Structure formats: structure tokens, C-alpha cells
Amino acid sequence: MAATEVSTTPFDGQKPGTSGLRKKVRVFQQPHYLENFVQAIFDTQPGFRGGTLVLGGDGRFYNREAIQTILRMAAANGVVKVLVGRGGILSTPAASCVIRKYQAQGGIILSASHNPGGPDQDFGIKLNTDAGGPAPAGVTDAVFARSRRIDRYRITDTGSVDLDALGNTALDDMSVEVMDPVADYAALMERLFDFNAIHQLFNSGGFRMRFDAMHAVTGPYATEILENRLGAEPGTVMNGMPLPDFGGGHPDPNLLHARDLVALTQGLTGLDFGAASDGDGDRNMILGKDFFVTPSDSLAVLAANAHLAPGYKAGIAGVARSMPTSQAADRVADELGVECYETPTGWKFFGNLLDARKITLCGEESFGTGSDHVREKDGLWAVLFWLNLLAVRRQSVGDIVREHWQRFGRNYYTRHDYEAVDAGAAEALMDHLRMLLGDLPDKRLGGLSVAYADDFSYTDPVDGSVAEGQGIRIGFDGGSRIVFRLSGTGTRGATLRVYIECYEPDPARHGQPVQEALAPLILSARELAQIEARTGRAEPDVIT
Ligand code: G1P
Ligand code: ZN
């Protein structure tokens, strides 16, 4: 059967963001839209010709159709082999794992992460490189540039591949291997964590947990690992069946969207442990009985306890956190005598540090935590890490975190989001702050003295590349901080994110409500940025 060359014309507005190309399903369903973008990948990434491609997605609406199209295009573009997850399923971290394990030339992951799915919702496509991580800016820029000039794409006129039967099929000269999406990932987890200890914890009686897969991709992973391999009781995994519309929910593991899970951890009958992951399986939320672990604290706790997990028993080489993430991990790194790197927002900035073995663990405040085991953040990995700690330390989640604060001090932390703000007003607000920067040092704000104020710029210590304008940082004597930045992932207007943090060394003052502890700084941030006057918003839409 022959490959056909189809004439096409480019679409505007296909610029992929930090997490690939995300659009409404109906946009992707336009004739040639997906094809243009995929052909731009093959045209700019010559390694796929004669190579191996990993392909899968989070199971959302349009996943299977997109996979059939990409398979036929891969065959027409000279790919030798495609590894595709059964049912079209591969979580983002599992795709990273498979790319690395089988030394594929890269992968295409179909997901819009934590955005809702369904015919009127979002779809997305992202490219990962042979290291297993998201394509760096240079690569996505090249794909974008090509997609603006494209005038033809290549596709075979072969039929569709049965995605539900494991095994090999030929598509023209290309071989398609439908693989178990869970097996390689589960094997990696077994190497990193003490499965015996966790198994005993589950069998000890009295330990009660739930994992909320939110009808997204981690269902099959969590069921296999937690219930089948670790012996957690059936039903431990909630909402474990991936659905094209995620059951109508918003597959984002936070206090708002995972509220059923949160409720199960509260009160007299509250569970000992609750955890959730997002649409494509890279985010995580960790809950104890009546206790929410902030992602910033989670990174710090994992760093301080890493030696308790077999995969990290030799210690960690270093840690990295995105700039707006709280500085809790810095204090742990200090005590361990390792470096803590501060990177711009977005997982791709961790890749070089991981590849160069400068860091072992990394994380972001936005429910992302990970390590050098893959090149993506990894939701279920974080959950298993916590279970490993609980199994070894035999303490509650709350006690582990409170002890951590006693030892290192507590970084009170919150993020306030102002969503769908007028884009011009948001830019003007940031300009206004930039103008103030020079005058701030040594001034007093909310009773604290400003130590430094800048627009964050990052020079990659490995390749020397520079990322400028990554957000306004205002640091105070004593470790408090206010950070302002505009979201790079919002879809309507602009989203202003304000991150507020203060450091409290005194354990007697570790029990305050977070918003109260931070109230003076929150007020200073609002006044300084003139948030209400410039955006018309007296209060944020979302407080995390
Ligand atoms: C958000 C998060 C960021 C994360 C990104 C992709 O980006 O804040 O940490 O890497 O989603 O999941 P933002 O909308 O803030 O640009
Ligand atoms: Zn995600």
C-alpha cells in the first residue's frame, strides 16, 4: 500500500505552549489540523525516520482517532517501529519511562493534562525527545515554524490498527507493537521503592487509604501497583476507569477538584492517607488524616527522607525547585550539603540538571514532583514515595510533616490566582511592578525589610542558555517572599499568580492557619501591585 501525499495549508495559532499544543477538540477535528502539526514534527525531527516512536495518551475524547492518524503518518514518514500503549493509554511519566527503556527517538503524548475532556473540551499533543522529557523551546519553536509553512503531509491509506490486542502488526513497512502500558512503569517503581514494607503496611490492619484516579490515566497504573502488587484492598483506587470525559470532572488533583477524596480524609473516620493524580498522571496531591501536604513541603520532606527509599538510599546529588515554589527544600539541601537550584516555572528546566546528574529530586508548587527516574513529573511515583516513608517511619502524614517543620522550620506558603483578567491590565500590572524594582531594596513592606527585588532570570548551569522575565521576586530579611507572574498555560485572558511565603523557625508558632500567618504579606502584595485598581478584583478566584 502506498503512502499518499496530501496537499494542505497551514493554520494560524498553532503555537505550542510549554506543555505542547492544547486546543479544543473541535479545533483538532478540523480537516488537516492534527496532520499539519504531526507532519511538522516529522519534518523537523529527522531522527524518527528509521527510528522508534512511543505513542499514547491519557484516554480523553479523540485519543483513539488521533492515534490511528499518527500511526498512518508515522508509517508514511519512514518510522520503523511504534510502541503504543494498549487502548491508546500511556501516562506521561510512563511514556517517558518507555522512551528511555527502549531507547526510542522520542514520543508523542496525547493529553491536555488536567484540563477537562469531551467533545466540547480540550485535547492536546506534546512531543518528547529521546531523553524522555518534554521537547525544549528550540525544538517546539522549530515545529511551530514548520507548521506555519507546511503545504503537504504524508499518510498511508492503510486501515486502522486494533489498539486493544497486545502484539505486533505491520502497517506498510512499519511495525506497530501494542504494549502493556503499565508493565515497564510498574517494574521501575518496584526497583525504586520498598514494596515489601508497603505491602506489610497494607496488611498490618488499621491503615486506610484511597487513591483517586479521577477517571483519568492513572487508574490502570494504580490498580495494578497498589491493589494487585502491593495488596491494598480492592476499592482502594477510586474512579479507576479512564473515561473519555473523565466522568464529567476536572481531572486536577487539588483541594477543589478532588473534594470527595478530601472529605474522606476528614473527621473522626478520616482515612490515614489520600492521594490523587491528574489527567495524564504527572501531578500528585498528598493528604493525611485532616492534613494537606503542600507540594512545596512534599518536595522538602521527600528530600530529607530520600535515603529511606531503596532507589535513593545512597542519598541525593542535589535538588531543584521552580522559582515560585517555597524555599522549604532549600533548607533541606543546606543541611544535606547539596545544591538547591532555582529554575523558571515548567518541568523542562529540570531536564539538563537531571541529565548532568546535578540533581536527583525536583518539584514545583503546582502539584508536580519527580526525580531522575524519568524526565517528567510523576504523580504515582510521589504517592509510592510517601507510602514508602509511611511504611518505614510508621508515623502519620501529619506527624512526619510537623516533625519536619520542627527540624527545619516551617515555610508558610500560599498561591493566589486571579483568573481571566484582562490581558492588557495584567501586562500593565507587571510593568508597574518592574518599574518599582529598583526602589524596593531596604524599603519596609508589611513590617518586613526588602532584601532583594528582581525580575527572575535563569542561566542554565549546563548549557548556559538564559531565560529572562520569569517573574517578579521580592525577598525579605528572614526568608519571606512575594512572587508575581503571569500564567503561561491559561486559555482565557491572563491569569495573575501571586505566591506568598514566610519562614517561621519557632515550633510554637507552627499551628497557625496559613492565610492568617501570611495576612500582612498578602495585603502588602495586593497594595504594591495595585491588584484591585488594575484588575477590578478585590479577591483572588482560587487560593491554594
Ligand atoms: C502551570 C504551573 C507550572 C507547570 C505548568 C504545566 O503553569 O504553574 O508549575 O509547570 O502549569 O503543568 P502556569 O500556568 O503557571 O504557567
Ligand atoms: Zn498533567
The CATH number that applies at residue 241 is 3.40.120.10
Which of 132, 157, 181 finishes a domain?
Answer: 181
- Asked if 356 and 364 touch (Cβ cutoff 8 Å), the reply is no
What's the CATH number where 452 sits? 3.30.310.50
Residue 364 in contact with ligand 1 by CB distance below 6 A: yes
Nine-digit cell string for 270: 478520616
Mean pLDDT, rounded, of the chain: 95
Inform me whether the pLDDT recorded for 229 exceeds 90.
yes
- Which DSSP state fits 334? H
Q: Distance between CA atoms of 299 and 342, rounded to whole angstroms?
A: 13
Same domain, 399 and 419: no
Among 16, 17, 15, 19, which residue's Cα sits nearest to residue 368?
Answer: 19
Helix axes 295-305, 379-393, angle to 10 degrees: 50
Which of 360, 377, 408 finishes a domain?
Answer: 408
pLDDT band at 493, cuts 50/70/90? confident
**Cα-to-centroid distance, 292 and ligand 2 (Å):** 20
Mean pLDDT across 103-122: 95
Same domain, 175 and 190: no
Q: Distance between CA atoms of 386 and 373, rounded to whole angstroms?
A: 16
Query: What is the pLDDT at residue 137?
Result: 83
536's CB contacts (< 8 A; 6+ apart) are none
* Radius of gyration in angstroms for the set of CA atoms belonging to the chain, rounded to a whole number: 23
Q: Distance between CA atoms of 283 and 366, rounded to whole angstroms?
A: 8
Structurally, how many domains does the chain consist of?
3
Ligand nearest to the CA of 347: 1
Residue 254 in contact with ligand 1 by CB distance below 6 A: no
Place of cell 548556559: 464
Question: Probe ligand 1: pick from 58, 114, 282, 345, max atoms within 8 Å of CB?
Answer: 345
446's CB contacts (< 8 A; 6+ apart) are 520, 521, 523, 524
Counting Cβ atoms within 10 Å, is residue 424 exposed (0-12), middle (13-18) or buried (19+)?
exposed
DSSP helix/strand/coil, 276: strand
Mean pLDDT across 505-533: 95
Helix axes 183-192, 92-101, angle to 10 degrees: 90
Question: Probe ligand 1: pick from 299, 366, 376, max atoms within 8 Å of CB?
Answer: 366
Among 338, 303, 299, which residue's Cα sits nearest to residue 321?
Answer: 299
- Residues serving a catalytic function are 113
Same domain, 387 and 453: no
Same domain, 17 and 33: yes
What is the CB neighbour count within 10 angstroms for residue 224? Answer: 19
Domain with 473, as residue range(s), is 410-543
Same domain, 226 and 371: yes
Q: What percentage of residues in the chain have a pLDDT greater than 70?
A: 98
Inform me whether the pLDDT recorded for 492 exceeds 80.
no
pLDDT band at 20, cuts 50/70/90? confident
Ligand nearest to the CA of 112: 2
Same domain, 390 and 492: no
Same domain, 227 and 99: no
Which of 159, 181, 203 finishes a domain?
Answer: 181
Same domain, 165 and 244: no
Same domain, 441 and 365: no
Residue 56 in contact with ligand 1 by CB distance below 6 A: no
Mean pLDDT across 19-36: 91
Residue 322 in contact with ligand 1 by CB distance below 6 A: yes
Read off φ and ψ for residue 230, nearest 5 degrees. Answer: -100, -5
Note the helical H segments in 102-227: 137-147, 183-192, 195-203, 218-222
Q: How far is CA 143 from CA 48, 127, 280, in A?
A: 14, 10, 22
Same domain, 159 and 195: no
- Asked if 494 and 423 touch (Cβ cutoff 8 Å), the reply is yes
Query: What is the pLDDT at residue 230?
Result: 97
Same domain, 175 and 136: yes
Q: Distance between CA atoms of 451 and 478, rounded to whole angstroms?
A: 9
Task: Starting at the earlier edge strand, list the strands of the sheet with 106-110.
Answer: 21-24, 122-128, 106-110, 52-57, 81-89, 174-179, 167-171
Same domain, 331 and 476: no
Q: What is the pLDDT of residues 79-102, one digit of tens each?
A: 999 999 999 999 999 999 999 999
Inform me whether the pLDDT recorded for 128 exceeds 60.
yes
Query: What is the pLDDT at residue 59?
Result: 96
pTM, entire model: 0.94
